[in-house]
Chain A
């Protein structure tokens, strides 16, 4: 009897609390995602160290480790995108469009992906002038490009090109690969965040949705950014093209 009574009162308390202080499931998810990101950060760090050691000792486990890092990075990118989308839609994301040296930002993105690129023996060419600057939210652009790189690493043969240039009042960043390119069904010009989530190259399309959102958040003098996917470029493979005004 007593136990049942206690339980009852606990439930009552909980109900009144949820009435005065609503705790939305989305908030709970966002908090958990944040926590998961911390763990993943540790996991990726540990994996990168292990991969290095495995390479030195010529371990037969190397291929599996490389796959593990790729998957961990993918998870991390996805969580980051989910968290950003949640925050943006609740107007909690601090969009911070500032002038940045473009090459420095791109170099950091390459550094973040260096271990995986080396492991997969993919050559990456960075093509960007060292003195050019542009206006963007560094974390949002990095999120979109990290995702594009991760995607390209999976679909390229052995080469990638990261190109950025400023012309006609906008910054154009391209991620090009020498893989088989996007299937025709997906090539319908500009990718819009408003069209909802589609399936691209076997993924949920979260990354494309996020990148289109990032493009859209960059506005200047009535122009907004855009995301295009196409085939061609320097290597004739898939191209991810982000343009920011």
Chain B
């Protein structure tokens, strides 16, 4: 990273020509020579595809089209800028969106107007030297070597106490990425024992949420709100917490508050749409979904969820044609498997409403194929949506088969099982559902226990083989993968290291960690594996 201002490639993005000129003057006086300008988000993105910039000065408000945040997101997602790029977002006043959290797409800094030459130069120099200091950390993160990144943060903290805050935040982010919840909890708790710091409290709430401790999450996140020093992140996690606790009314009230503080978030309007729909306010849900679609129009991070949510509402109130139109938009705009699957499922309902039975049937078959093709990437929501479509077209047998598979894959997850319970209740299949869930649970528990018994009797090979077969049948079952990894570890300890087994163990643990991030046992196994590899 050769960076002094003289050699730096600079991009200035501002829709106001006068402001562009002024910034150009400032940065030229500060020493920069290679300066480009763009007057809107689209031109800025084009410029970044043609040239690698070291410094980007971007006004948040860019008039029509993308805003500054959306330009930043697109640049990061499409890797038009690297980690060495210094991105400064310029705004007229402090807004809720500027409160730095741990969000993925944050600029390096915000600068409030009015700006003068000295201020800009001073800030740039400071940011460049900070980037320089964090070089090794960023490199480690790029390799996903979070252990190294954390260690480097600790070293830097000793060297420069003024950077402590930034480094602690980074450290917490890396520990979270590693899934090391106990360590990140300890970090936040030690910070909070000295002083109430809202980002640390919000972080702790997030960890509680991720470890399923919803009541604790609720308490600490509500505390942050009462102290009147919350970030939007605090609201987002508290909304999720209330949803997890089943209090959708409170969740809706909170997302409404967050939208009052920062009205232009497409994703939050989508959440409001979902909650209003659940809570029975269809009119509000519809307008929220429409706002979400409009606001995310120019965003690279937009998803199809608001479209399908809106289309379902349209079908419900008898406007199936609009639902089909929305899904045509989805197919044009999104190509990811989840969107395609949801589009097919949504179209099934719309065609059925219109009396096009044959079309509905053939779309349902498409959807089944799509779900199969997704393998372990298909989540519970997709499975339930497909099962619902099957039921509505009268194919109960197929629906129950699919649901059995979901129950078996999640036999030890109370959250999923209660979601299924609710699903059966709504489909008027409560009794049948109860026995399906129970039978699935019993079957998987029996296989698992059989494996454990074999292992206890010293028949480790047989046990491993049994669980390997079970994993092949139930690829999304966390518990079985974890136990398989445990037995593989035992074998490695007994018979010495063997590369193929080390590799298999690593793969099982990584999959298990994706299925249920941060499980303590899974983490223990990973540490044990690391020790075995290092030995």
Complexed CA–CA distance, A15 and B107 (Å): 43
Complexed CA–CA distance, A41 and B115 (Å): 7
A100 at interface (Cβ–Cβ under 8 A)? yes
Complexed CA–CA distance, A11 and B461 (Å): 85
The answer on a CB contact under 8 Å between A98 and B231 is: no
Residues from chain A with a CB closer than 8 A to the CB of B165 are 98-100, 133
B158 at interface (Cβ–Cβ under 8 A)? no
How many residues belonging to A are interface residues under a CB distance threshold of 8 Å?
40
The answer on a CB contact under 8 Å between B228 and A95 is: yes
Complexed CA–CA distance, A44 and B118 (Å): 14
A37 at interface (Cβ–Cβ under 8 A)? yes
Which residue of chain A is the closest to B94 with respect to CB atoms?
A139
B191-235 with Cβ < 8 A to chain A: 195-199, 228-229, 231
Residues from chain B with a CB closer than 8 A to the CB of A98 are 100, 165, 197, 199
Pick out which of these stretches binds chain A: B18-26, B134-142, B237-245, B479-487: B18-26
Which residue of chain B is the closest to A219 with respect to CB atoms?
B227
A3 at interface (Cβ–Cβ under 8 A)? no
Residues from chain B with a CB closer than 8 A to the CB of A97 are 197-198, 229
The answer on a CB contact under 8 Å between A94 and B99 is: yes
Residues from chain A with a CB closer than 8 A to the CB of B196 are 220-221
B47-103 with Cβ < 8 A to chain A: 92-96, 98-100
Instruction: With both chains docked as a complex, state the minimum distance between the C-beta of A194 and any C-beta of chain B, in angstroms.
Output: 17
The answer on a CB contact under 8 Å between B113 and A41 is: yes
| Given A76-B114, A108-B122, A94 and B98 contact (CB-CB distance below 8 Å) | yes
Residues from chain A with a CB closer than 8 A to the CB of B112 are 139
Complexed CA–CA distance, A101 and B25 (Å): 29
The answer on a CB contact under 8 Å between A133 and B94 is: no
A45 at interface (Cβ–Cβ under 8 A)? yes
Contact partner of B99 (CB less than 8 A), chosen from A40, A45, A96, is A96
A104 at interface (Cβ–Cβ under 8 A)? yes
Residues from chain B with a CB closer than 8 A to the CB of A108 are 119, 122-123
| Given A94-B96, A133-B164, A42 and B22 contact (CB-CB distance below 8 Å) | yes
Residues from chain A with a CB closer than 8 A to the CB of B375 are none
Secondary structure call for the A interface: helix
Which residue of chain B is the closest to A45 with respect to CB atoms?
B22
Instruction: With both chains docked as a complex, state the minimum distance between the C-beta of A135 and any C-beta of chain B, in angstroms.
Output: 7
The answer on a CB contact under 8 Å between A94 and B231 is: yes
A114 at interface (Cβ–Cβ under 8 A)? yes
Which residue of chain B is the closest to A73 with respect to CB atoms?
B114
How many residues belonging to B are interface residues under a CB distance threshold of 8 Å?
40
A111 at interface (Cβ–Cβ under 8 A)? yes
Secondary structure call for the B interface: helix
Name which of A34, A76, A98 has the most chain B CB atoms within 10 A of its CB: A98
Contact partner of A91 (CB less than 8 A), chosen from B123, B160, B195, B228, is B228
| Given A100-B165, A135-B195, A115 and B116 contact (CB-CB distance below 8 Å) | yes
B234-271 with Cβ < 8 A to chain A: 260-261
The answer on a CB contact under 8 Å between B164 and A99 is: yes
Residues from chain B with a CB closer than 8 A to the CB of A220 are 195-196
Complexed CA–CA distance, A220 and B283 (Å): 44
The answer on a CB contact under 8 Å between A34 and B93 is: yes
Residues from chain B with a CB closer than 8 A to the CB of A45 are 22, 26, 114-116
The answer on a CB contact under 8 Å between B229 and A92 is: no
Residues from chain B with a CB closer than 8 A to the CB of A112 are 114, 116, 118-119
The answer on a CB contact under 8 Å between B261 and A94 is: yes
Contact partner of A96 (CB less than 8 A), chosen from B115, B119, B231, is B231
The answer on a CB contact under 8 Å between B229 and A131 is: no
Residues from chain B with a CB closer than 8 A to the CB of A49 are 22, 25
Contact partner of A131 (CB less than 8 A), chosen from B94, B162, B197, is B162
A71 at interface (Cβ–Cβ under 8 A)? no
Residues from chain B with a CB closer than 8 A to the CB of A99 are 164-165, 197
Residues from chain A with a CB closer than 8 A to the CB of B229 are 95-97
Interface string of A146-188 (1 = CB under 8 A from B): 0000000000000000000000000000000000000000000
B117 at interface (Cβ–Cβ under 8 A)? yes
The answer on a CB contact under 8 Å between B122 and A111 is: yes
B126 at interface (Cβ–Cβ under 8 A)? yes
B458 at interface (Cβ–Cβ under 8 A)? no
| Given A48-B116, A94-B231, A37 and B93 contact (CB-CB distance below 8 Å) | yes
Contact partner of A37 (CB less than 8 A), chosen from B22, B92, B118, is B92
Residues from chain B with a CB closer than 8 A to the CB of A34 are 92-93
Residues from chain A with a CB closer than 8 A to the CB of B199 are 98
Which residue of chain A is the closest to B19 with respect to CB atoms?
A42
Which residue of chain A is the closest to B168 with respect to CB atoms?
A99
B406-459 with Cβ < 8 A to chain A: none
Which residue of chain B is the closest to A131 with respect to CB atoms?
B161
| Given A46-B22, A131-B161, A94 and B94 contact (CB-CB distance below 8 Å) | yes
Residues from chain A with a CB closer than 8 A to the CB of B231 are 94, 96
Residues from chain A with a CB closer than 8 A to the CB of B164 are 99, 133
Instruction: With both chains docked as a complex, state the minimum distance between the C-beta of B140 and any C-beta of chain A, in angstroms.
Output: 24
Name which of B18, B100, B123, B165 has the most chain A CB atoms within 10 A of its CB: B165
Instruction: With both chains docked as a complex, state the minimum distance between the C-beta of A182 and any C-beta of chain B, in angstroms.
Output: 28
Residues from chain A with a CB closer than 8 A to the CB of B122 are 107-108, 111
Name which of A34, A40, A111 has the most chain B CB atoms within 10 A of its CB: A111
Contact partner of A111 (CB less than 8 A), chosen from B113, B119, B162, B195, is B119
Complexed CA–CA distance, A212 and B100 (Å): 25
Which residue of chain A is the closest to B61 with respect to CB atoms?
A38
22 contacts between A and B (CB under 8 A): A34-B92, A37-B93, A37-B113, A38-B113, A42-B22, A49-B25, A83-B93, A92-B261, A94-B96, A94-B261, A98-B165, A100-B165, A104-B126, A104-B162, A108-B119, A111-B116, A111-B122, A114-B116, A133-B162, A133-B164, A135-B197, A221-B195
CB within 8 Å of B: which residues of A?
34, 37-38, 40-42, 44-46, 48-49, 76, 80, 83, 91-101, 103-104, 107-108, 111-112, 114-115, 130-131, 133, 135, 139, 220-221
Please provide the 8 A-B residue pairs with the shortest distance between their CB atoms, ordered closest to farther: A101-B162, A41-B114, A41-B113, A111-B118, A99-B165, A94-B96, A96-B99, A111-B119
